[in-house]
Structure 1
Amino acid sequence: MKRVQKGHVTLKCWDLGGQPRFRTMWERYCRGVNAIVFIVDSADRAALPVAKEELQLLLEKPTLDGIPLLVLGNKSDLLDHMSVDELIAALDLKTISHREVSCYGISALEETNLDHVLNWLIARASH
């Protein structure tokens, strides 16, 4: 677990990893959270169908119903990355109901859009 502090808000973050062996644990860590952050490699188009399937399986869990979802397309600094609109389409985000859904392109390397992400999370931390 990592703690991120911004102003008077402390965010607790777990990096659950995307490897198949960790996926069965995702739901356990998502219980009682204010938001679910789902990060994909926006430059790895071949991995998107599996990411879409795993995201749908996660969101079907009754214990996670209504929890806001933030999808982040990492590696927006690479030339061949998918746009936010392409990610929304590839992951069928417009079909998700019963929860707030947002999607941003980010670059962890260049720290692109990380302030927007933190502000989004902080706004949901008080709910």
Structure 2
Amino acid sequence: IYVIDSADQKRFEETGQELAELTEEESLTGVPLLVFANKQDLGTAAPAAEIAEGLSLHTYRDREWQIQACSALTGEGVQDGMNWISSQIMNRKK
């Protein structure tokens, strides 16, 4: 699970590089990736689709991934993301 500040667009490139480095870790090969696009309650927040493009999530072919718009402040979207990652974990166990 990776959390990004949707309102801090200046750091998207840096954050994308950090995420790419993390996913290259051998121990994380094939592990599902949930990206929470946090702070969607702010007017300056970038939409989740724009963040996914900025992080080049479409290039991740070795794992399932999901970007979930959310607000930790209001709780909106958090449960949806947790449900997705839980289902991914359960599917891997089968």
State TM-score, norm by structure 2. Answer: 0.91
1:65 matched residue in structure 2: 29
Identity %: 32
Distance 2:12 2:86 in 1: 28
Quote how far apart the aligned CAs of 1:121 are: 2.4
| Equivalent residues, number | 91
Tell me, what secondary structure is at the counterpart of 2:21? Answer: helix
Structure 1 residue ranges, 4+ long, deviating more than 3 angstroms after superposition: none
2:89 matched residue in structure 1: 125
1:94 matched residue in structure 2: 58
Distance 1:99 1:70 in 2: 11
- Kindly name which structure, 1 or 2, has the bigger radius of gyration based on alpha carbons: 1
Structure with the higher fraction of residues in strand conformation: 1
Quote how far apart the aligned CAs of 1:122 are: 2.0
Matched, 1:75 2:14: no
Point out which structure has higher relative CO (alpha carbons under 8 A, 6+ apart): 2
| Aligned residue identity for 2:23 | L
| Aligned residue identity for 1:108 | A
Tell me, what secondary structure is at the counterpart of 1:71? Answer: strand
Quote how far apart the aligned CAs of 1:117 are: 1.4
Q: Which runs of 5+ in 1 are unaligned?
A: 1-36
The answer on whether the counterparts of 2:2 and 2:35 sit within 8 Å (CA) in structure 1 is: yes
Structure with the higher fraction of residues in helix conformation: 2
**For the aligned residues, what is the CA RMSD?**
1.0
